Amino acid sequence: MADSDIRAYTFGTLVTAMVTPFTVDGEVDFEKSAELASKLVDDGCDGLVISGTTGETSTLEDDEKETLFRVVVEAVGGRAKVIAGTGSNHTSHSIEMAKRAAKAGVDGQLLVTPYYNKPSQAGIQAHMEAIADAAELPVMIYDIPARAGVPITAETLIRLADHPRIVALKDAKADFASTTRVMANTDLDVYSGDDGLTLPWMAAGAVGLVSVSAHVATRQFRAMIDAAHAGDFATARTIHFELDPVVRAVMTHIQGAVAAKQVLKWQGVLSNSVVRLPLVEPDEAEIEIIREDLAEAGLVFS
């Protein structure tokens, strides 16, 4: 597949779930958000999720989210797809955020499985379809049972794929058999939602990755995804192994947004690693473990 073809997917192929930078006082730093978005796109991302899990969506106010959507669209619109994290466990609230995201000019929306409520599969389907109906935006479904409490079954995803605006799936379920059924029976663009499983998923037909670790190693993830699309799995495998300690550093020891902000601070991309409660910054023991993993990947910070 030619490079010009792989960039034609609705949401791109390397999508970073972007952190939300804060000031030292805990306010959203919109200027730094625009700078980070531009850097990620310059380094190879063709999509960004704004106000997703890694963007600390649960502790952002609605007005902050809408402003973030507008700021990032202004910064990278036309160069990369901007996907708004609008989903929650409150259907009418998600509908309102979908409408606000559309007004802000985003390219699509990410809808997470309703969490805490533990709805039935019929409830999940009705929730997703109601939000998809509310705004003229293509939808990426986010299946993450470890956070949401319930998985979206293959049968439900196959039914959801019939909706004209539901075009993609971010799979963070790691159920290979279930998602194989989805890929075999729908036209959904499937994205790995687990950084370390990107290459296996792409070997089965996934189009790319929605990533946290790509904050830290954007160009390597870009090269691996491009190699996989070109059928060069030897090169993709080599990069996959090189990325393993980076993925461990960001995704294994502490919450992904916390780790990503810490490494971005070390890289000089962010001026601080501030997160909002109930998240807290890493302690010295956690920092040391992250440093050890990064050193294994050849990344050493003072």
Annotated catalytic residue 39: no
Start-to-end C-alpha separation, the chain: 41
Rounded Cα distance, 13 and 224, in Å: 11
Are the CB atoms for 187 and 162 separated by under 8 Å? no
The length of the chain is 302
Strand blocks (E) in 101-242:
108-112, 139-143, 166-171, 189-192, 208-211
CA 133 vs CA 84, 116, 172, 211: distances in Å: 16, 23, 24, 27
Catalytic residue among 170, 173, 191, 261: 170
The whole-angstrom separation of Cα 59 and Cα 56 is 6
Name the CA radius of gyration of the chain, rounded.
Answer: 18
- Catalytic one among 9, 142, 173, 261? 142
**H helix count then E strand count, the chain:** 13, 8
Is 142 designated active site?
yes
Which residues are part of the catalytic machinery?
A: 142, 170
